[in-house]
Structure 1
Amino acid sequence: MKKKISILCLVFLLIFSFTGCGSKGKDTVDYDQATMQSYADMIVQSFNNMGDADFQRFEDMSDLALNMTLLQSGLPIEGDNFVTMIEAWKAGIKECGELTEVGDYELTTSNSGATLTAEAVFENRTGELSFTFDEKMNMESLTVNAHYSTGEILKKAGLNTVLGMGTVFVVLIFISFIISLFKFIPAIEKKFSKKAKAANPAPAPAAAPKAAPAAPVVTQAADQDGELAAVIAAAIAAAEGTSTDGFIVRSIKRRKSNRWS
């Protein structure tokens, strides 16, 4: 039993030892500050002596040509990162003026890399240069941070506030103007509907069908036949010695010849 406990304790001790060694090896990366400072000084001196045409020449290079140029110069930096550093440098010089002096560098490390910073003096103001490196001491970026006085900070904050509020008010006024135009929509719609009706007149009513010719009037002929039938019936009744109630004359037909047979 004691032997099993001893083996178990030994196993835990080995586990903790490997864990401590692994974390220590991961957290402690040796950075050569002197080498990193030489890289930073090379970038600062090169950029400070370049003009816009020189910067443009590097920006117009292909990726392969730029990487080969950087490799020959001895700078451990990728072409894309170098172009980004050029843009950051130009923006910083535009804000602070030309660089006149660079102070001592300070190195700060983290799990993802290291940062090399130095105070700098420019024509218009002071600032700070910051270079970032990865774990293999490859340069990744350059930042130029300008130092502003309290008055300048408050001035910029006030301008930003006025600009933001002014933009909001302008948008609100524009929206109010658009809403005020809604009352003209019914009148415009009515006007366009009248124009549409005038452009498309209503179709003319279809002509009424002609009336069929009236049947010939036979009233007079019917009356004449009735009178003739009454006369004939009376003559026959007188000849027979009876009344006209005993027979009815239904039709009268005229013979073609006047001769009596």
Structure 2
Amino acid sequence: MMTAIVCLTGCGKTQTTLEYDEAMIEQETEFLINYCQNVDSDTLAQWNDQNEFSKEYQFMMSGLKFTPDSFDGAVDSWQAGIKECGEYVGHGDYTFEAKDDELTVSVPAQFEDRDATIEFVFDKDLYLESMTVSAKFSLGEIMEKAGLNTLLGMGTVFVVLIFISFLISLFKYIPAIQNAFGKKKDEKKEETKAAVSETVEEVDETDDLELIAVISAAIAAAEETTTDGFVVRSIKRRPSNKWNS
């Protein structure tokens, strides 16, 4: 049994760490820090105007294991750190932490307004993946930021609740608005009905006049006289159209 355990232990996966050259890594990080510290806006604009192939060619010729994306990201992170911590003053000793597929290099740095930690991350081929500048805040500053974030969050919630309450309070005016629109529709319907009735009456009067003229002509023809001798005062319609026997 002991022999089997020893054999199985020997067949297990061996944990290895990434091998690297500290001097080479420090040279690359120092180059990056010095470049970010001394580059001006014109040089940076010229660099950004270059294409990916030109950037990669310059890295290859200089022997630096950078990629255009990681290098540009490092420059942006440095500029953000300058805005937050002030101008760069110097840095301390490097600390290396290697894993099987990654190398992390960190160094404490001093800036005019506050201290920070610069961290470099390299992949398993020792190409730069990222560089970050993390400002160091005191406990009071951390508590102040936490308090401001809490107030901002709670304030936003209360503002939204007040707005929702205001909207709910307006619901009581909805029936009145609906009634007002309903009255307008009823008035329009009544006006339409009145106009139709007037039109029907005018049509009926026109029909009656024509009917009177026809009856007058028929009577005059039957009496062999003219229509001047009599006047039709009114015409009453029978309730049924059937002839009485």
TM-score range, shorter chain: 0.7 to 0.9
2:11 is aligned with 1:23: no
Give the structure 2 partner of residue 67 of structure 1.
56
Structure 2: distance between partners of 1:54 and 1:183 = 65
Alignment of 1:60-99 (within 5 A): 60-99=49-88
Normalising by structure 2, report the TM-score.
0.73
Gaps of 5+ in 1: 1-8, 219-261
Give the structure 1 partner of residue 164 of structure 2.
175
Give the structure 1 partner of residue 237 of structure 2.
211
Q: Read off the aligned partner of 1:179 and give its amino acid letter.
A: I
Give the structure 2 partner of residue 141 of structure 1.
130
SS of 2:169 mapped into structure 1: helix
Structure 1: distance between partners of 2:67 and 2:240 = 110
Percent identity over the alignment?
A: 38
Alignment of 1:221-240 (within 5 A): none
Kindly report the root-mean-square deviation, in angstroms, between the aligned alpha carbons of the 2 structures. 3.0
Match among 143, 153, 165 for residue 164 of structure 1? 153
Q: Read off the aligned partner of 1:114 and give its amino acid letter.
A: L
Structure 2: distance between partners of 1:197 and 1:134 = 78
How far did 1:177 drift? 0.9
Normalising by structure 1, report the TM-score.
0.68
**Deviation per CA, 1:169-217, whole angstroms, max 9, x where unpaired?**
11111111111111111111222233334445443355689824999xx
Q: Read off the aligned partner of 1:152 and give its amino acid letter.
A: E
Give the structure 2 partner of residue 127 of structure 1.
116
How many aligned positions are there? 204
Q: Read off the aligned partner of 2:237 and give its amino acid letter.
A: A
Q: 2:74–2:132: 8 Å Cα contact kept in structure 1?
A: yes
Cα 1:124–1:198 change in 2 (3 A) is same
**Deviation per CA, 1:103-140, whole angstroms, max 9, x where unpaired?**
11010012330101101000101111100011111111
Cα 1:193–1:116 change in 2 (3 A) is same
Structure 2: distance between partners of 1:148 and 1:96 = 10
Higher RCO (C-alpha under 8 Å, 6+ residues apart): 2
Cα 1:194–1:73 change in 2 (3 A) is farther
